[in-house]
Chain A
Amino acid sequence: QKEVEQNSGPLSVPEGAIASLNCTYSDRVSQSFFWYRQYSGKSPELIMSIYSNGDKEDGRFTAQLNKASQYVSLLIRDSQPSDSATYLCAVNSLQNTGNQFYFGTGTSLTVIP
């Protein structure tokens, strides 16, 4: 059973602070990693993808991947109240029956004005 683990939170940060979200995965052959943001009552929305070890930055978001440690994280700089949502970590592995995606249960983030 492939597993993706996230701290469920809730994580609370003040406005303007850095929010750090973490994710570990069990399958060493996993190749692609994604972060989705999900507002309450809405569907997941892709915000970051990362495939290689190291950091990837996109605006206020930075994804970090360490395949040796099987660890992926998301940093949100200058957090805004609009960042308050649940963040899902997803891992993609190519299987015989196509791409398989494994999701964590999500971390709830609240940014306090």
Chain B
Amino acid sequence: DVKVTQSSRYLVKRTGEKVFLECVQDMDHENMFWYRQDPGLGLRLIYFSYDVKMKEKGDIPEGYSVSREKKERFSLILESASTNQTSMYLCASSPIDRENQPQHFGDGTRLSIL
């Protein structure tokens, strides 16, 4: 089974802090994704990566950056946390060049910015 592991289930940080969310997958997937999910807004793509050191902006990249130094790890960085970044953050992975493969999600990180 695919395992996508997010470093924290719950996280509380303060406004202005630099926040790191970590995600690791164990299936050698090329694609990795970061979403945030808010009530009524569904899943919104922040960034994705299709290879080591490669990154692409999603729909809402403002205020975020990412890092992919190793294939299995994809980090989301909140450069200066703000209260409007309080949300559920979901990491996902999928193999590349195989259309019929789904995304697999981690358990999510519920982040609160105070």
Contacts and interface: CB of A to CB of B under 8 A. Distances in A.
Interface of A: 8, 31-32, 34, 36, 41-46, 49, 51, 88, 90, 92-94, 97-99, 101, 103-106
Give the secondary structure class of A's interface.
strand
Main secondary structure of the interface of B (DSSP, over half): loop
Interface of B: 30-31, 33, 40-43, 48, 50, 56, 90, 92, 94-108, 110
Contacts of B33: 101
Contact of A46 (B41, B95, B98, B104): B104
A31 B97 CA distance: 12
B96 A99 contact: yes
Contacts of B31: 98-99
Contacts of B106: 43
A101 B94 contact: yes
A98 B96 contact: yes
Contacts of A93: 99
Given A46-B102, A90-B102, 20 more contacts: A32-B102, A36-B105, A41-B110, A42-B108, A43-B107, A44-B90, A46-B104, A51-B99, A94-B99, A97-B50, A97-B56, A98-B30, A98-B50, A98-B96, A99-B96, A99-B97, A101-B94, A104-B42, A105-B42, A106-B42
